[in-house]
Amino acid sequence: MEVPTEMQRKRTVVERDKTNIVSLSMNATFFYEKAVHFLDRYQYAKALKYFRRAMELEPENPVNHANLAGVYSELGDYRESNKILKKVLDEVDPSMTECHFYMANNYMNMDLFESAEEALVSYLEKDVEGQYLEECDDMIELLSIELNRDIPIKKMKSKEKFFEHDRARLLLEEGKCPEAIHLLKKIIKKYPDFIAAQNNLALAYYYIGDYDRTAEHIEDVLKVDPGNLHALCNLAIYYRQIQEENKLSELLQLLSKTYPYLPDQLYKLAMTLGLLGNHEMAYHHFLRLIKTGDEAIEPSLFHYAAVAAFNTKRYEKALNLWKQAKNLDAKEIVPNFFIEEFDKLITNQHIILSYHYFLPFEEHFHMLGKWKENVLNEWNTNHIVRTSLKWGLFHGTMTNKLQVLEIISFIQNKDVEDLLRKFLLEPTEKDKLKRMAVFLLRTMKASEPYEMITNGEKLNIDLLPLSNKLITWDEKWHLIINAALIHMEDRYDLQQKYELYTLWVHFLTMKYPNVPKINKPKGWSAALEYLIAKMYNVEITYREVSERYQISVSTIKKNVDLIKDNVL
C-alpha cells in the first residue's frame, strides 16, 4: 500500500474540510471597520493599510479617500494627504467641500500660510453645512497673526442660514417646539437642501407627537442622502415609538455596524443606541469620543458615558466618569447628584438611568402637563425620581428648587409634608422659597403652626400676615385667594399662584385699615388672576376672565386699576 506524501496529506485535509469553511465577506465595509479598529488604538500604519484597501474596493466613495487622507495627516505626511483631498475635489466628489478645510489644516501644519488662507476661504465660500465654523474662527485668527493682515472673506455661505438654525435648535432644547417648527419651516423654505434643518424639524414633530410628519421629513432627508446618519438615528427612534419592531431590529443591525469618524455623528449614534437600550455599544462610542482628547469636551459627555457604564453594571467606572465630569466643572449639579447618591443607586440592580443631562426628576418636569395624573405613582414607585426630588430641593439650583416645589404640589401626602417642614428648618435657604413651602403646606391643609428658621432664629409662623401692619385678617380675604386658585389650577404654576397670594396681601397691607369693602369677591379674584397673567406674559383678556368668573368686565377692570395704583 502506497503511503501518501506530506503534500498529499495536506491536500486531503483541505479537501475534507472544505464543507466546513465559513465564507468571510471582505468588502469595503470590512476593511473600513478594521481600519477604525486600529485607528482607535493609534496604530496608524495598520489603519492606513486597511483604509487604502477600502478605497481600492470602493473608489467612487469619497469618504474612503478622505479617511485615507486623514491618516496620512495624522502620520505627518501632509503633502500626500492634500494630494488625495485634491483628487476628491477634482475627480471623485466636488461637493465634498469639507476637503477644503482639511487641506487648510494641512497647509497650516506645513507653515504654508497663504495656501492655507486660499483653502480656508474656499471652504467658507463654498460649504453649505458649516460643520467646522468654530475651528475656522480659530484658524482665521492664527492666519491674521502669521500674515499680519486681515483674511478677506467676501461671503460665508453656511452662516447665512446657521444663525437662524441655531435659534431653532435652542428653542427645541428649551421645549418650545411650536416656535422651533415655525422657524425651521421658514429656513427650509429658503434653503430646501439644508439637511440639518430637515432632521431637526423631524425631531420637533416627534416631540409634539406628530409622528406622520416626523416620518415624512425623515423620508425627505433619506431620499436625498440615503446614508445620512442623523436621519437613520431619527428613524430608529421613530420605529420604536410606533412599535415597528422588525424594521427597528433591521435598522439597529445596520447602526451597530456603523463606526462614524466625525465627532458629531459619533455622538448622535451613541446617544441613539443608548436611548434604544443598546447600552454596551453606547458605552464604547462615548468612550471613543472622550479619547479624542478634544479640549472642548463638556462635562455632559462624561455623564453620558457614566450612564452607559452604570446601565451595563460597570459601577466603579461610572463613578469615576462622574468624578471626571465634576473635575471639569465643580459647580455642575448633575454629576454631584450621582456622586453623592451613588451608594444608594447601586443597591437597586434594576435601575436604568436616562440619557439626559439634568437631574432625573427634571425629565418629568419638562413633560409635567402629561405627567400630573401619574405624579403620585412616580413618587411611590420610581426610586431615582423620588431621590432626585429630595436632593434637588436641598442641593439644587434656585430653578431646581422651584421645579421640585411645583412637582410635589401635585403629591400632597405625609412624606411631602415632612419634607417641606424639614426644608423650613434649613438655615441657608432663601426666605422666599420657604414662604412658598409654607404656602404649599397651607394649600395641603397641613396643621399649623409651621416652624421656620429665618435670620438665624426659629419661629412658629403662620403664612398670614406677611406684614406687621396687617394686624387683623378677614376670612373674606382668604375666600378671594381660594376662588382665584381654583380657577388658576391648570393654567399657572406654583410660583405664579404664590405671587397672586403675595400681591393680594401687599395690596391689603397698603390699604389697611381703609381696605375696600368686599361686595363682589369674584371681581377681586378675577382681577388678581388678570394681573398675575400680565406679569408672567400669560395670554389673557378681560372678556375671557369675565366669562370664567361670571363677573362684569367693568368690575374686574376697576379692581385691576385699584390694585395697580396701590401696589404696582
Integer Cα distance of 545 and 157 in angstroms: 50
In the predicted structure, residue 291 carries a pLDDT above the cut 80:
yes
pLDDT at position 156 = 59
Give the mean model confidence (pLDDT) for residues 24-46: 78
Residues 496-551 have pLDDT tens digits of 888 888 888 888 888 877 888 888 889 999 999 999 999 888 888 999 999 999 99
Q: CB of 312 within 8 A of CB of 279?
A: yes
Confidence of residue 10 (pLDDT cuts 50, 70, 90): very low
Give the mean model confidence (pLDDT) for residues 211-235: 92
Integer Cα distance of 494 and 241 in angstroms: 32
Confidence of residue 185 (pLDDT cuts 50, 70, 90): very high
Q: Which amino acid is at 454?
A: T
**Per-residue CA distances from 286 to 269, 273, 290 (Å):** 9, 11, 6
pLDDT > 70 fraction of the chain, expressed in percent and rounded: 88
Helices 133-147 and 113-126 cross at an angle (nearest 10°) of: 150
Confidence of residue 6 (pLDDT cuts 50, 70, 90): very low
**Per-residue CA distances from 296 to 120, 201, 307, 309, 464 (Å):** 22, 27, 20, 22, 51
Integer Cα distance of 170 and 168 in angstroms: 5
pLDDT at position 26 = 67
pLDDT at position 155 = 60
Give the mean model confidence (pLDDT) for residues 91-105: 91
Q: What is the dihedral of CA 460, 462, 465, 471, to 10 degrees?
A: -70
- H/E stretch holding 462 reads none
Confidence of residue 306 (pLDDT cuts 50, 70, 90): very high
Integer Cα distance of 378 and 380 in angstroms: 5
Query: Is pLDDT larger for residue 405 or for residue 29?
Result: 405
Give the mean model confidence (pLDDT) for residues 182-211: 89
pLDDT at position 296 = 63
Q: CB of 425 within 8 A of CB of 436?
A: no
**Per-residue CA distances from 63 to 82, 153, 314, 461 (Å):** 14, 28, 35, 70
CB burial of residue 72 (10 Å; 0-12, 13-18, 19+): buried
Q: CB of 94 within 8 A of CB of 87?
A: no
Q: CB of 215 within 8 A of CB of 254?
A: no
Q: CB of 305 within 8 A of CB of 321?
A: yes
In the predicted structure, residue 208 carries a pLDDT above the cut 90:
no
The answer for residues whose C-beta is within 8 angstroms of residue 290's C-beta and 6 or more apart is 297, 301, 302, 305
Name the pTM for this structure: 0.59
pLDDT at position 472 = 61
DSSP of 263-294: HHHHHHHHHHHHHTT-HHHHHHHHHHHHHT--
C-alpha cell at 152: 478677506
Q: CB of 84 within 8 A of CB of 70?
A: no
pLDDT at position 106 = 94
pLDDT at position 294 = 64
Q: Which of 62, 64, 84, 89 is nearest to 73 (CA)?
A: 84
Residues 334-363 have pLDDT tens digits of 899 999 989 988 888 788 898 888 888 876
Residues 426-466 have pLDDT tens digits of 998 888 888 888 888 888 888 888 888 888 888 777 655 44
Most confident of the ranges 192-196, 238-242, 385-389, 433-437: 238-242
Residues 111-154 have pLDDT tens digits of 999 999 899 888 888 876 667 877 888 888 888 888 888 877 66
Q: CB of 207 within 8 A of CB of 173?
A: no
Q: Scanning the structure block, which residue is given the C-alpha cell 377681586? A: 524
Q: Compute and round to an integer the Cα radius of gyration of the chain.
A: 32
C-alpha cell at 411: 403629591
**Mean pLDDT, the chain, as a whole number?**
83
Instruction: Tell me phi and psi for residue 452, to 5 degrees.
Output: -140, 135
Q: Which of 147, 76, 142, 136 is nearest to 100 (CA)?
A: 136
